[in-house]
Amino acid sequence: MQGPLENPDLREIIDEYDNLIVFGAGITGVWLFNHLNDHGYGERTLCVIDNDHKKHGTKICDQLTIEDVTYLEGLGNEALSKSLVINTISDIQETWDQGNSFGCAKQIAIGTFIDTDIVQAHTKILDLTDVYGKGNYIAHSLECAMHAHKAYFSKSTIFLRSLDLMVTERCSLKCVDCSNLMQYYTRPKSEDKDELISGLKHFLSKIDHLFELRLIGGEPFVHNEIYSIIDECSSMVNISKISLYTNSTILIREEQFKKFKAGLGKLYFSITDYGDLSYKLQENIDILNRLNIPYRCHAPEFWTDSGRIIYEERTEMELQELFNKCCGKNLFTLSGGRFYRCPFAANLDRLSDELHDKHNYINIDEVTKESMNKYVNDLKYLPACKNCKGRSYDSEQIKPAIQTNKVLDICAIT
């Protein structure tokens, strides 16, 4: 398997340490573990550390158990002083300081050793753990780590791993616990296509590179100009990938995709399989197979009680803790000409003038390297967190996609 260990510079670094600790058990982390094994470093790889509690105790390739950070305490200072941490997580701004705090001799970011040849070499490899899906997840993850890690150490680049573009408040389903708050809209409407595109272009003119634009709603395929939106977004040069997030209730139009001026090369589908509700699933999958568009089709994964607008008295400390633990805080969202940390805040601001708070977002006009850095790295919490239950790895799981036919009342909660 072609990879960074063919690079003698990386091997030279690794050879200085007795022990290796892989940080991150996502696709890149699992891939790296296999790659280390292939190059005879399996025995020296002590553990894979991940922050997601749900992964702890499970095994990678039936060999190494995924551990919580506390596992490192048991290794002792002597072993740690001979250990190298290899960070594989794309959200490196979130995890680099944490990796440095492990007490190991050194940390490196694997993406800085990945190049486009390595990514290319993986485009034909399917992720076999993805039961229904097809698509080059490994290539996608390696490419993302490559861009994210290199940009993190380049002081001059504004790089965003992912951005959700809210194309509509409308949905073909009404899930009572929708984390994007669709259940609260009384008169949901779609965004005007021209405003959406000009807002996005304006935003992109302020940054260097967006790895993945996720078109999202509600249900993006209820927007009557969705095909032209997808095509226009695909032609934007500083976006690498366009992902479509759909519930597969609507038949996608094969002919429309074939007309795209920008081609289909950047497209990627994430389909949530809501069982009987996603009644166009098989037809859509057949179309995507014919068009050769990669997709991932998955059951609704780990739903939490994050779709409720609440008001609870919380101290500053409690708010900071809620925000720190929240895995929604980096679901950056562009909505109504504003850049948000998460879809909850974006939709709360749209839904309620009373709860709307200008400290929840940055106006696109005010986006600069400094303002982005402050908003993305220094924020302690958002005003919207006061009305949110948060989404932490240890949140209780709830039954997904329970349908309601009533609009939920935003005022009932205050």
Ligand X SMILES: C[S@@+](CC[C@H](N)C(=O)[O-])C[C@H]1O[C@@H](n2cnc3c(N)ncnc32)[C@H](O)[C@@H]1O
Q: Which stretches of the chain bind ligand X, using CB under 6 A?
A: 171, 177-180, 216-217, 219, 245-247, 272, 300, 303-304, 306-307
Rule CB under 6 A: choose which of 21, 25, 48, 182 binds ligand SF4: 182
Tokens read off for 299: 């059951």
304 binds, options ligand X, ligand SF4, none, Cβ within 5 to 8 A by partner type: ligand X
Residue of minimal CB distance from ligand X? 272
Angle between helical axes of 226-234 and 193-204 (0-180°, round to 10): 20
Q: Among residue numbers 221 through 240, which ones bind ligand SF4 (CB under 6 A)? A: none
Choose between 266 and 391: whose C-beta lies nearer to ligand SF4: 391
* Shortest distance, position 264 Cβ to ligand SF4, whole Å: 24
168 binds, options ligand SF4, ligand X, none, Cβ within 5 to 8 A by partner type: none
Choose between 104 and 167: whose C-beta lies nearer to ligand SF4: 167
SS3 state at 348: helix
Cβ-based neighbour number of residue 47 at 10 Å: 21
Q: Would residue 350 be called left, alpha or beta, if left means φ above 0 and alpha means ψ between -120 and 50 degrees?
A: alpha
390 binds, options ligand X, ligand SF4, none, Cβ within 5 to 8 A by partner type: ligand SF4
For residues 104 and 82, give the distance between their C-alpha atoms in angstroms, rounded to a whole number: 7
342 binds, options ligand X, ligand SF4, none, Cβ within 5 to 8 A by partner type: ligand SF4
Cβ neighbours for 331, distance < 8 A, ≥ 6 positions apart? 162, 164, 341, 342, 343
Residues 287-299: b if buried by 16+ CB within 10 A, e if exposed: bbeebebbbbbee
Q: Among residue numbers 326 through 365, which ones bind ligand SF4 (CB under 6 A)? A: 326, 328-329, 341-342, 344-345
Choose between 10 and 322: whose C-beta lies nearer to ligand SF4: 322
SS3 state at 2: coil
* Shortest distance, position 179 Cβ to ligand X, whole Å: 4
Lateral strand order in the sheet of 83-87: 59-60, 64-67, 45-49, 19-23, 83-87, 106-109
* Shortest distance, position 303 Cβ to ligand X, whole Å: 4
Choose between 88 and 247: whose C-beta lies nearer to ligand SF4: 247
Choose between 84 and 178: whose C-beta lies nearer to ligand SF4: 178
Q: Phi and psi (nearest 5°) for 85?
A: -95, 130
DSSP β-ladder status, 361-363 and 338-340? antiparallel
350 binds, options ligand X, ligand SF4, none, Cβ within 5 to 8 A by partner type: none
106 touches 25 (CB < 8 A): no
- Residue whose token pair is 């807002």: 199
Which residues of the chain form contacts with ligand SF4 (CB under 6 A)? 171, 173-175, 178, 180, 182, 217-219, 247, 322-323, 326, 328-329, 341-342, 344-345, 382, 384-385, 388, 390-391, 401
